[in-house]
């Protein structure tokens, strides 16, 4: 039986570990926290997961929430006009329902399920010496957690990483009491030109159904203001910013309460693609997974989706590889299967961090009056590869607009 060790008990690490256990592999997952510690800790993300990523979970029997988690049936886009109104707006239904489950709810249950199916959990803060030991004991070591010294093992891929610094100051708050959207449950995506973005989405947290509020501010701008705030202060700041920049959203948020003391998060990071193979001091090689190798800004909500897709790609690559050695060539091949999809999500996400070019403004304008265009944009969040056929290139955009007008 081939032995695989996965360092990191998040979306990708546990999904891959459970998939491998089901196929008869000997799998250890390393976590720096117990399930109880995760559940009692602070929120970690906003995690809107679309149809393709959720299907990977269902295929492994990992959908334990069903209707307990609010459905995300659509996505609405609003562009602020800078004067308290909207320059344009559109809304469309998702072809496949999306969901957001607080990782404090999901990961403890998945850790228990992994152990129930026969996996081993090793609770420790893994360092370089631990990776060396895992490499000596295992046929393959996969790193799905990239903090501390471990993060420095994976070299930044300069050709695929256009940003050396954070492009947004990030802050999210989990709340109850938000008035639902008038048309359908879903994501509200608000663009404040030159300042940043604001999102909402329904979710399931440790205390039950809730909504997530999420600001992304251009560094140094008026939304870059969340450092050092206590949870109640962060919520109050959110409400003030809504009244100033997106008053139509403020109307939904007059009677909010925090879900819990750990329901806020703030920080920033530089979007980065890293090379997938890292070499330990001994010469042993390990493979990076999900955010360790492709870390996108959350402006397009691709993080958990990329993690699920990466786990699925690596699972397929391992199963296809059979009994052959897990050498660097295999690791590059496994990453390549993921990158074939992730490069589209990465390029689109990076583009959305900049000022929209003229052809994108024209497409958004068309979406505000044409449901067909709105639906195509909204469903691109599930499969960003489609954007390269009509959205990312000015000529393709003009051809598309001409085709729908004829």
pLDDT digits (tens, 9 = 90+) for 90-127: 999 999 999 999 999 999 999 999 999 999 999 999 99
What does the alpha-carbon distance between residue 241 and residue 223 come to, in Å, rounded to a whole number? 8
Looking at the chain, the whole-number percentage of residues with pLDDT higher than 90 is 96
The answer to whether the beta carbons of residues 159 and 67 sit under 8 Å apart is no
Residue range(s) of every CATH 3.30.9.40 domain in the chain: 68-100+168-267
pTM for the model: 0.97
Instruction: List the CATH code of the domain at 3-62+102-162+271-352.
Output: 3.50.50.60
| Architecture of the 68-100+168-267 domain | 2-Layer Sandwich (3.30)
Which region, left, alpha or beta, applies to residue 283 given φ > 0 means left and ψ of -120 to 50 means alpha?
A: left
State the Cα torsion 164-166-167-170 to the nearest 10°: 170
State the Cα torsion 247-382-17-272 to the nearest 10°: -70
Tokens coding 336: 């390549």
Among candidate residues 406, 388, 400, 131, the one with its CA nearest the CA of residue 278 = 131
Partners of 48 in the β-ladder: 100
Residue range(s) of every CATH 3.50.50.60 domain in the chain: 3-62+102-162+271-352
Positions of the chain with pLDDT under 50 = none
Q: pLDDT digits over 295-324, tens only?
A: 999 999 999 999 999 999 999 999 999 999
116 contact partners, CB below 8 Å, separation of at least 6:
none
């Amino acid at each position: 039986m081939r032995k695989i060790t996965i360092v990191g008990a998040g979306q990708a690490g546990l999904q891959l570990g459970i998939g491998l256990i089901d196929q008869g592999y000997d799998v250890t997952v390393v976590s720096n926290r117990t399930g109880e510690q995760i559940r009692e800790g602070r929120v970690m993300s906003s995690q809107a997961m679309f149809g393709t990523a959720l299907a990977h979970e269902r295929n492994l029997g990992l959908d334990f929430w069903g209707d307990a988690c609010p459905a995300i049936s659509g996505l609405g886009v609003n562009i602020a006009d800078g004067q308290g109104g909207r320059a344009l707006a559109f809304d469309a239904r998702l072809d496949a329902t999306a969901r957001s489950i607080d990782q404090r709810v999901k990961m403890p249950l998945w850790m228990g399920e992994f152990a129930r199916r026969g996996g081993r959990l090793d609770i420790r803060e893994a360092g370089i010496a631990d990776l060396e030991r895992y490499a000596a004991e295992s046929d393959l070591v996969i790193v799905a957690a990239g903090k501390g010294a471990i993060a420095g093992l994976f070299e930044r891929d300069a050709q695929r990483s256009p940003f050396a610094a954070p492009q947004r100051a990030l802050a999210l708050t989990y709340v109850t009491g938000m008035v639902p959207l008038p048309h359908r449950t879903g994501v509200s995506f608000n663009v404040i030109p030159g300042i940043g973005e604001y999102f909402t989405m329904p979710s399931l947290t440790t205390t039950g159904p809730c909504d997530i509020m999420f600001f992304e501010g251009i560094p140094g701008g008026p939304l870059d203001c969340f450092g050092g705030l206590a949870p109640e202060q962060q919520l109050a700041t959110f409400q003030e910013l809504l009244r100033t920049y997106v008053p139509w959203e403020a109307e939904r948020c007059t009677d909010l309460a925090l879900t819990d003391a750990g329901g806020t998060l703030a920080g920033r990071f530089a979007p980065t693609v890293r090379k997938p193979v890292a070499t330990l001091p001994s010469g042993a090689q390990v493979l990076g997974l999900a955010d360790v190798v492709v870390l996108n800004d959350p402006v397009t909500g691709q993080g958990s989706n990329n993690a699920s897709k990466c786990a699925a790609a690596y699972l397929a690559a391992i199963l296809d590889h059979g009994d052959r050695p897990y050498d660097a060539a295999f690791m590059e091949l496994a990453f390549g299967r993921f990158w074939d999809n992730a490069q589209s999500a990465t390029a689109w996400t990076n583009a959305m961090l900049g000022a929209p070019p003229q052809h994108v403004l024209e497409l958004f304008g068309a979406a505000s009056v044409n449901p067909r265009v709105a639906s195509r944009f909204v469903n691109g969040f599930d499969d960003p590869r489609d954007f390269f056929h009509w959205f990312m290139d000015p000529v393709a955009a003009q051809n598309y607009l001409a085709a729908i007008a004829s």
